Amino acid sequence: MEDAADMVRLVGRMINIPLSISISSLELALSTLRGMQKVITAEPGTTNADASQTATPPIIHGAPAPSPAQSGQAQPAPTLQADSIRDTYNGLAAFVVPGMDIWSAAQGATSSEPGAVSTHVADVMIGVLDRTVPSPPQAPPSSAMIASLLNQVAQKVNPSAGGNFASDFSKLSFREKVAVFQFIEGDPSMQPFKRIGGLLAFFVAFIFYSEASAFDFATHRLKGRPAGWVATNYNGDFDGSCQFKGYFRDRRHAEKSTDCA
């Protein structure tokens, strides 16, 4: 999308996304997921909160998905359509920064203000992943591979999730999306990709809250107020502020120490 082009150019200059993932091992993991019979559940009670907070109940779904052949051979990779890829990253964007869009509504976590979906974060993520995470020849682009990972884990979390989305991940509730990341970050089979969960959220937040949505790459100026700045009540495009109040206890200089070890 043209609106996202400047954003992709801006964000694509960032350091090589430090995923350090091997696409070939991602293919293997995806194959393993397709052959997996179990339904993924969230582990109960292992929260970081104080004891006063209640434990999270496990997510349990209906019958497991039909088991594939037990040959041990890799299942052929379903080809993700562009719609499905973009749909997946919209579901991700809504998960990290909910808004007023249909992906946020479907997950049951919304906001009264525009979220990351509204600022084309999905297109930026696709563009940046494809540009900065190398994919071997003949393999699908990196954005498609990572979207496949999210969708295939999503199928295991809730195989019967409904909704008019091309992406299985986008059909999930917010808590079910949490289970997806919990699995990716915690299951031994996902060891090479455990970083993906945190990094994907990091990039969605970084892109949304930055100047990216209003940055004019040609002029290196803003063409409006970025959505993330509106969301945070921030206006930082100035050379100075009126914040100088003096020196704490009127002390402008530190003293030399008289005690020296």
Partner 1 sequence: MRDVIVIGAGGGGPVVAKELAARGLDVLILEAGPRFADPEKEWSHYEIDANGGYLRFGPADLSKPAWFRDLPQNSALQQLSGVGGTTLHYFGNSPRSVPGVFLNYQGADKDNYDVAHIFPFTYRELIPYYEWVESTLPVETAPMGTKEEIFLRAAERMGLPFQETKDAFKAGFRPQENAILQPGGHAGKTMDPALLMYPHSKGCTFCGHCMQGCYLPRGAPRNLKAKRSTDNSYMPMALTADVWAHGKRATLITDAFAVKVTTDAQNVARSVTWRIGKTGELVTEEARVIVMAAGTVETPRLWLNSGLPNPNDQVGRGFTDHFSDALGGLLPFDGAMSKGPGSNARIDFPGYGAIEQFVATPAFSGSSATLSDAGIAGYYNNGVQEQGSGADVVGRVVGKELRTIMADIDRVLTVVVLTDDDVEAQNRVTQSFAFPPDEHGPVPRVEVHQRARTARTIRNREYLNRQAVNLLRAAGSYKTYRFNFPPTMIHIHSTMRMGLSETDTVVEESGEARWVKQLYIADNSSLANSVGGANPTLTTQALATRTAERIFQRYFGGDPWVAKESPVSSVAEAVTQAVQQ
Residues between 186 and 205 with contacts to partner 1, criterion CB under 8 A? 186, 194-195, 198-199, 201-205
Interface residues for partner 1 in 137-176 (CB under 8 A)? Answer: 174-175
Residue 161's nearest CA partner among 88, 61, 41, 35 is: 61
* Integer Cα distance of 156 and 104 in angstroms: 21
Q: Are 40 and 162 a contacting pair, CB within 8 Å?
A: no
What mask, x for binding partner 1 by CB under 8 A, covers residues 88 to 127? -------xxxx----------x-x-x-x------------
Angle at 25 between CA 23 and CA 28, to 5 degrees: 115
Our CB check for partner 1 shows the closer of 34 and 127 to be: 127
Q: What is the total count of residues that contact partner 1 (CB under 8 A)? A: 85
Regarding 85 and contact with partner 1 (CB under 8 A), the answer is: no
Residue 137's nearest CA partner among 258, 219, 17, 24 is: 24
Q: How far is the CB of 30 from partner 1 (least distance, A)?
A: 20
Q: How far is the CB of 71 from partner 1 (least distance, A)?
A: 30
Q: Which of 4, 42, 153, 172 binds partner 1 (CB under 8 A)?
A: 42
* Integer Cα distance of 1 and 247 in angstroms: 50
Our CB check for partner 1 shows the closer of 115 and 140 to be: 115
Regarding 233 and contact with partner 1 (CB under 8 A), the answer is: yes
Strands 215-216 and 221-222: antiparallel
Q: How far is the CB of 6 from partner 1 (least distance, A)?
A: 11
Q: Are 40 and 183 a contacting pair, CB within 8 Å?
A: yes
